[in-house]
Amino acid sequence: MQFTFAFPPWLRAAVVTMACLVGTGTASADQDITIGNPSFENPLWNPTSAPDEEFYGSAAKWKPLLDSQGEEVGVTGTAHLSSTYLDPLVVGQEVGFAGDNGFTTPFQTGASSMYQVLSDLVSPGANYRLTLAVGTQPLTNVDSHYSVELWAGTSLLKEIHGTIAGGTGFQQVTLDTVGAGAGKLKIVLSETNGGQTLFDNVRLSIVPEPSTLAMSGTALLFGLGYARRRVRKMATAL
């Protein structure tokens, strides 16, 4: 008697899908968390009526922290920025900025920050990824010294900082951390050394845990292999 074993089509498809997911380390798309005004398009900048206008102190949903040295935050239009800055990292017509406003002594040493408290509560143990575009002031060669922070309530989850050479455009910045504590999530964006730093396309998401998927995939493949061996053993005994 000849005994032939074959996986049904649906099972073969499941195996292929799981193998692909294990290989890529993702089972589903990242879970985006809502951020208000993430690309700083509000208030709307009008290059026709005010070609050089910058909205100091205004960036809807983002709250400024002002100091005594004339440093502020706000939004500015990209139309009067160098074409160097109009790259895929920049979304829309405007970018946010933090830094010296130029109305007092320019580029004094000091910090200028904007922040936003989100409606989502932190999920302890979740993998968070905060990404954004960070750039330099196009009208000067002054370096930008930036800081990006993610908070849960009153607890700082993680801070990253760096320097972007003046006149070099935007760079993608990524902050990865694990949720802990309690309270609402908060994002803080800062220029830390008296220059002016531009921000755009802020995104926060929960990233799926790849190890869980890998374990599930391994268990499935092991189980299927065991089933095939059992069937072959039964066929041999006939």
Q: What is the pLDDT of residues 164-181, one digit of tens each?
A: 988 788 899 999 999 999
Q: What is the pLDDT of residues 127-146, one digit of tens each?
A: 999 999 999 876 667 788 99
The DSSP letter of residue 85 is: G
61 dihedral zone (left: phi>0; alpha: psi -120 to 50; beta): left
**Do 19 and 221 touch, CB atoms closer than 8 A?**
yes
- How large is the angle between the packed helices 210-237 and 9-24, nearest 10 degrees? 140
Architecture of the domain made up of 31-207: Sandwich (2.60)
Amino acid at 59: A
Of residues 42 and 124, more confidence is placed in 124
Q: Where are the domains of the chain?
A: 9-25+211-237, 31-207
Q: How many CA atoms lie within 13 A of 38 on its CB side?
A: 16
User: Whole-prediction pTM value?
Assistant: 0.73
Q: What is the pLDDT of residues 7-57, one digit of tens each?
A: 555 555 555 555 555 444 444 578 999 999 999 988 876 656 555 556 666
Q: Tell whether the model's pLDDT for residue 68 goes beyond 50.
A: no
Residue 84: per-residue pLDDT: 52
Structure tokens belonging to residue 145: 């010294």
Q: Tell whether the model's pLDDT for residue 64 goes beyond 90.
A: no
Amino acid at 172: Q
